[in-house]
Chains A and B, each alone.
Chain A
Amino acid sequence: MVDFLDELEACVPALRRYARALTRNIDHADDLVQDCLERAISRRGLFRPSGPMRPWLFTILVNLHRNARRSEQRRGPHLDADSLPELGTPAPQHSHLALAELSRAIDGLPLEQKETLLLVTLEGMAYAEAASILDIPLGTLMSRLGRARANLRLSTGETQEPHLRSVK
């Protein structure tokens, strides 16, 4: 029991990071994580597969987020002043402007591409693990990942011939 909760606690930072990237809103993200943890605690031993905890938690989180999105769409979109991304200190090669642009571009991705891209790039999940969390075949995962990356390059204007830009 205590082991279970400790293990859960170790996953909280990653869950918050993923939820924040999905929602771009600190309160919505933490609400999502809290829902996820409460569900995990109340279902412990009932539905938890015998495998590691992290993929199980991410599966719950992804499903909760999809449900929330669905009910939000039924209620109609709402604009939130808090939904601007919380920017960390940018690495030297990334300007704030470029990061903000990327953040908007991620937000504009179809949900299935965004879920996939973030699991792999932000959470460093193995493809097989990410595919099982999203409950899709590996091939579907790969094509979603490819489309997500191409879309991002398109909307951040990086599809021009790269060597022309590097010469300038």
Chain B
Amino acid sequence: MMDVTRDTLMAYLDGQLDGDASAAVDAWLADNPDAAIELAQLQRQNEAINTLFGPVASEPVPPRLNPHRLALAQSRRRWQGAARAAMIVGVLGIGIAAGWLLRPVTDTPALYNRLIADAVSAHTVFVAENRHAVEVAGTETDHLTSWLSNRLGTGLAMPDLATAGLSFLGGRLLPAPAIPGGRAAQLMYEDSAGERVTLYITPSAGIDGPNLELVRLGSDNALYWASATITCTIVGPQSAETLQAIADSVFAQLTPAATAPAYREL
């Protein structure tokens, strides 16, 4: 009689014995009815487990468990992740580029912008004065010319703007701490209606900027231009075209030695 262990019986129960071994256990069980009954119980246990859960395998599979769908969703997520990463890199790049491009403006305003702002401030302060609008009256043209030319370190002439309908009131010396020479000159004119125009003049050494710029600040227009020797900002309530016409006339007279600015040649 063969030796049948519990493990062999279990393997028999689970159908894991080959034909010969299985037949041998069959023969053994015929002589061991108690073991046969116990085995039958375990057989029923197996069947019951399969009755309980076997039918799950024939249930329709919900779409969310379809591997093709899951693979698709996964690759889509991966692409979205990559796209999002690319977007972040792009936005960062734009931000850095914008920061770089705007850097001069945001860090320190360009010098010529400060000159325009100073010109408008000086205009606003002094055109409101009646008796003290100017330091030296326009009647003393020669004195103004030599005085301001000396202080600014560059040759200046007092433009005559009578043809534009403007009479010369005079001029004054102003501090200009932002620029190398530290001084600026203001010349004031008045038309027949009492509207005043000022010229704010500095040497142009050390000032980078465009040759020509028009800015509107409050109710005044400011027209700035620069030549090889000076910068001049014309400030007044007149239209941009009027200021441009005045500027043409001013430039020709202000620095007789200088060549005309580029915009006149166009």
The answer, yes or no, to whether B94 is at the interface (CB within 8 Å) is no
| Residue pair A16, B6 in contact (C-beta under 8 Å) | no
The answer for the CA separation of A20 and B58 in the assembled complex, in Å, is: 13
Q: Is the CB of B49 within 8 A of A37?
A: no
How many whole Å from B65's CB to the nearest CB in chain A?
Answer: 6
Residues of B within 8 A of A42 (CB): 74
A98, B48: Cβ atoms closer than 8 Å: yes
Q: Give the size range of A's interface with the partner.
A: 35 or more
- Interface residues on chain B, number (Cβ under 8 Å): 38
Q: Is the CB of A142 within 8 A of B37?
A: no
- Name B53's contact: one of A17, A124, A149, A166 (CB within 8 Å): A17
Q: Which of A41, A146, A149 contacts B74 (CB 8 A)?
A: A41
Q: Which residues of A contact B42 (CB under 8 A)?
A: 149, 153
The interface residues of chain B lying within 8 Å CB-to-CB of A87 are 52
Contact A12 B67 (CB under 8 A): yes
Residues of B within 8 A of A158 (CB): 41, 45
State whether A121 touches B56 (Cβ < 8 A).
no
Stretch of B9-17, B134-142, B143-151, B228-236 at the chain-chain interface: B9-17
- Give Cα distance in the complex from A17 to B56, angstroms: 5
Chain A residues with CB under 8 A of B37: 162-163, 166
User: Residues of A contacting B53 with CB < 8 Å?
Assistant: 17, 20-21, 88, 118, 122
**Interface readout for A12-23 with B: 1 if CB under 8 Å, 0 if not?**
111011001100
Asked if residues B64 and A13 are in contact (CB atoms below 8 Å), the reply is no
Q: Flag whether B44 is at the interface (Cβ < 8 A).
A: yes
Residue B66, interface by CB 8 Å: yes
Q: Does B55 contact A (CB under 8 A)?
A: yes
- A33, A38, A122, A127: which contacts B11 (Cβ < 8 A)? A127
Set of chain A residues within 8 Å of B16, measured between Cβ atoms = 126-127
- Interface contact B61-A17, CB-CB below 8 Å: no
For window 1-56 of B, CB contacts with A under 8 Å fall at 6-7, 10-11, 14-16, 37-38, 40-42, 44-56
Q: A94: CB under 8 A from chain B?
A: yes
Instruction: Tell me if B57 is interfacial: C-beta within 8 Å of chain A.
Output: yes
Mask: chain A, 125-144; 1 = CB below 8 Å from B; 0 = not: 01100000000000000100
With known contacts A102-B52, A122-B49, A146–B68 Cβ distance under 8 A: no
Alpha-carbon separation in the docked complex, A152 to B43 (Å)? 13
Question: Of A30, A41, A102, which contacts B48 at CB under 8 A?
Answer: A102
Q: Does A88 lie within 8 Å of B65, measured CB to CB?
A: no
A38 touches B66 (CB 8 A): no
B36 to chain A minimum Cβ distance, whole angstroms, is 10
> Given A33, A85, A93, which contacts B52 in the complex, CB threshold below 8 Å?
A85
Other than the given A41-B67, A106-B49, 14 more pairs (CB < 8 A) read A5-B67, A13-B58, A17-B54, A21-B53, A30-B64, A42-B74, A91-B47, A99-B48, A99-B52, A121-B45, A142-B7, A153-B42, A158-B45, A166-B37
| Chain B residues proximal to chain A, CB less than 8 Å | 6-7, 10-11, 14-16, 37-38, 40-42, 44-59, 61-62, 64-68, 70-71, 74
